[in-house]
Structure 1
């Protein structure tokens, strides 16, 4: 089969014109699943520090807040590995439904935590559900959309996730403003309110997923595979095959760089913002609750600005990947992420700087994720697509889970204050460059068909 490269008459029409009604439904539901998943992730980032300060006290919160992120990321990795494999075996739609139910329920239960251990338990189970969504949603869209529309559809799916992040930022701002002017309902804390709100959007998708059918391509491949004795979702098959094994391990290293950059470092920028707010309002005479509301408000603004930059970064690098190739796009995105992260951790000192530094960091850190969405499905066959994507994208969470521990330990060894935290973030950010070194050993898949068994 011959592909039409970018620039031919067929590709000049918008990619969305190539989708029929059913394909549009799949794209919308999969995109919403990932968007709401990201909303839930960022609600955690906004609520984490406040929860730890309330449950453990301010002094212990600085050390233990990163550990809750590590627990969340471990759950994310476990969920991705298990649900990704089950998605190849039993269907993308069915497993996506289960994943959403898990993270919606346990996000809500996080609001009722009474200590560090039960908070971590809820975050781990939430992570299991969250971890399954990306691989399943990307595999679902890859198997459902036409070849010519697939890269643009996947890049758009990933870009739309920033709207979930921005929605979380707006939610945090609204809760912070409300809490500042009057008590929250039922005497809830800001962090509890955020977790309760975070539980509901995912439930709206349940009726649509309940009625959705599995992709015809997956159904046909599964039937043919059963006749040939091909086992779908098998990690044994993934690692026995020399090509898929190579793609899996190198893809893991590539994903780990960007994931550690964002989750191990970049998503801790609320800690820097909260320290700036502390300094800025030190003489304002605010009560503890009022100061917590101000911190939630400014952390939400920071999150929103980061994701505005991320939205444009993902769209831009998806276009670079489409026109110039996946490997060049990865190299550019990881370099931008590294430079922008160093700038924020070293130079962000005043509230006014939030408005331009965080969008730049978001542009770099999130841009690499749109290329993941485009590239990873192109590395694995139908029988291993969800498995391979989830292995690369989610096992990297285990490596990323070590970054908050590393960040916490370096910070404590350097004195435990915010300056030590800044230095720690800059040191760990060099991991972003790891992904560039594996690119020459991975194939360029631009304008190539998805692999099959």
Structure 2
């Protein structure tokens, strides 16, 4: 009888047992991620008009170098800010770090509206990236440490969809503004003015969000180890467990298993980041070039449409990723994701010669190269590390790749010239996805396991 009663109380649906508190935490992270995505896409869609406005005639002669520098500097700030913010969140808490991150990147995004020269623009984009980077890890940690194990992957997939919705909002807003040109050639400034809106969300976060109890408990109990290595006997504590708290990044890079997981996950993150910037940043430009070669009526509009449908495909991937990754397992999901990214890159840049075909491929491209390729970073790395180093670890994995990838937009013009055009360059850089097919199999499978504490 007791057995039957226990079985009857087991949840029958993944969402059974989720409370208002769980959804509140998800909403808070989702809000921040919408504007993360907005900022990431905004710099891409307004890049051309923005450069024409802020560059001097002499600078405009080297447009690709200056345009790539703006993207690269934003990425650099994003990477540095993400790592610093992730470490701070393991010391001062997830909630406080999230609030400061959202407020500061909203402030600097709004100030970008008034940039009147290349140097000022670069400073503001670096500061925006610096503030924006730390929001990612805090949102992931809060949801993962609050939601129950059976629903965690789904919740994190929904959370990451905020990034996709943000990129879609940016693409749609720019499509509308570029069609009406309310400020003429200065219309791009309105896109960044909208970026100041998330500051309003700070009041909501202050009132309704609670700190992670799992993180607080781990700190109180001084559990400083990084991976919760199952090889230790129950109750056994390391030297670090009993002594003064070690620096979180030192733990990640000195514990052998933590080091192995960190390096492999960072390599996979670099695959995702390099591949995505190669694909997404050139997709509208390449579509416009195809449209001009075909003689279509409005090639620029086709570029905007492709950006929008690319993002729609990514949003679909985010919403489904938690369900798919629980069904396939973490490693197979990642392997198939990078295989799909490689194949769709070849199809896009080698086999496509019309804007209509590009429009068909764009959502498939977005599903793999932006959707699934980023969704694993919200779901999998949190399951590899414990609470006291979790935001340090996932922020290092997610943002550390940007410390490598930020140079690629800057040298993009040189790469395009060296490889003989955008298609060859995208194919060359997209070949990095082959590495992503192999590396997941060297990491542990965590599907169905409890989150390490």
Could you state the TM-score of these two structures normalised by the residue count of structure 2?
0.87
Q: CA RMSD in A?
A: 2.4
Corresponding residue for 2:229?
none
Q: Verify the 8 A CA contact 1:233 1:384 in the aligned structure 2.
A: no
| TM-fit CA distance, 1:12 | 3.7
| TM-fit CA distance, 1:443 | 0.5
Q: Verify the 8 A CA contact 1:168 1:300 in the aligned structure 2.
A: no
- How many residues get paired? 425
Q: Verify the 8 A CA contact 1:222 1:232 in the aligned structure 2.
A: no
- In 2 relative to 1, CA 242–405 (structure 1 residues): closer, same or farther, beyond 3 Å? same
CA distance in 1, matches of 2:357, 2:200: 37
| TM-fit CA distance, 1:41 | 1.2
CA distance in 1, matches of 2:196, 2:355: 31
Q: Secondary structure at the match of 1:451?
A: coil
Q: Verify the 8 A CA contact 1:47 1:191 in the aligned structure 2.
A: yes
Q: Verify the 8 A CA contact 1:173 1:298 in the aligned structure 2.
A: no
Q: Verify the 8 A CA contact 1:107 1:196 in the aligned structure 2.
A: yes
Map 1:98-247 onto structure 2 (within 5 A).
98-179=100-181, 183-184=182-183, 189-200=186-197, 202-211=198-207, 212-225=209-222, 228-229=242-243, 231=245, 234-247=248-261
Corresponding residue for 1:13?
13
Map 1:367-446 onto structure 2 (within 5 A).
367-414=372-419, 420-446=421-447
Cα deviation, 1:194-239, whole Å, max 9, x if unaligned, reads 1112222x12311112222312222222222289446376211221
| TM-fit CA distance, 1:381 | 0.4
CA distance in 2, matches of 1:414, 1:367: 28
CA distance in 2, matches of 1:39, 1:358: 19
CA distance in 2, matches of 1:67, 1:12: 52
CA distance in 2, matches of 1:106, 1:411: 31
Deviates more, 1:225-234 or 1:238-247: 225-234
- In 2 relative to 1, CA 385–363 (structure 1 residues): closer, same or farther, beyond 3 Å? same
List alignment gaps of at least 5 residues for structure 2: 1-7, 224-240
Corresponding residue for 1:5?
none
Cα deviation, 1:396-425, whole Å, max 9, x if unaligned, reads 11122132244322213356xxxx122111
CA distance in 2, matches of 1:232, 1:143: 22
| TM-fit CA distance, 1:302 | 2.0
Q: Verify the 8 A CA contact 1:317 1:333 in the aligned structure 2.
A: no
- Is 1:314 matched with 2:318? yes
| TM-fit CA distance, 1:59 | 4.3
| TM-fit CA distance, 1:148 | 1.6
CA distance in 2, matches of 1:324, 1:230: 41
CA distance in 1, matches of 2:356, 2:86: 42
- In 2 relative to 1, CA 109–391 (structure 1 residues): closer, same or farther, beyond 3 Å? same
Cα deviation, 1:315-374, whole Å, max 9, x if unaligned, reads 444323101210000000011111112222234443323321211110111212222211
Cα deviation, 1:117-174, whole Å, max 9, x if unaligned, reads 2211111111112211111110011111112211111122113421111111111111
Residue of 319, 324, 335 corresponding to 2:328: 324
- In 2 relative to 1, CA 71–264 (structure 1 residues): closer, same or farther, beyond 3 Å? farther
| TM-fit CA distance, 1:190 | 2.4
Corresponding residue for 1:51?
50
- In 2 relative to 1, CA 344–190 (structure 1 residues): closer, same or farther, beyond 3 Å? farther
Q: Verify the 8 A CA contact 2:81 2:129 in the aligned structure 1.
A: yes
| TM-fit CA distance, 1:271 | 1.8
List alignment gaps of at least 5 residues for structure 1: 1-7, 285-290
CA distance in 1, matches of 2:210, 2:390: 18
Could you say which structure has the higher helix fraction?
1
CA distance in 2, matches of 1:408, 1:52: 15
Deviates more, 1:387-396 or 1:400-409: 400-409
- In 2 relative to 1, CA 9–63 (structure 1 residues): closer, same or farther, beyond 3 Å? farther
Q: Secondary structure at the match of 1:148?
A: helix
| TM-fit CA distance, 1:11 | 5.4
CA distance in 2, matches of 1:118, 1:274: 29
CA distance in 1, matches of 2:47, 2:11: 45
Q: Secondary structure at the match of 1:13?
A: coil
Map 1:250-399 onto structure 2 (within 5 A).
250-276=264-290, 278-279=292-293, 295=300, 297-365=301-369, 366-399=371-404
Q: Secondary structure at the match of 2:150?
A: coil
Deviates more, 1:250-259 or 1:436-445: 436-445
Deviates more, 1:389-398 or 1:167-176: 167-176
| TM-fit CA distance, 1:242 | 1.5
Q: Verify the 8 A CA contact 1:410 1:424 in the aligned structure 2.
A: yes
Q: Verify the 8 A CA contact 1:53 1:60 in the aligned structure 2.
A: no
CA distance in 1, matches of 2:400, 2:206: 28
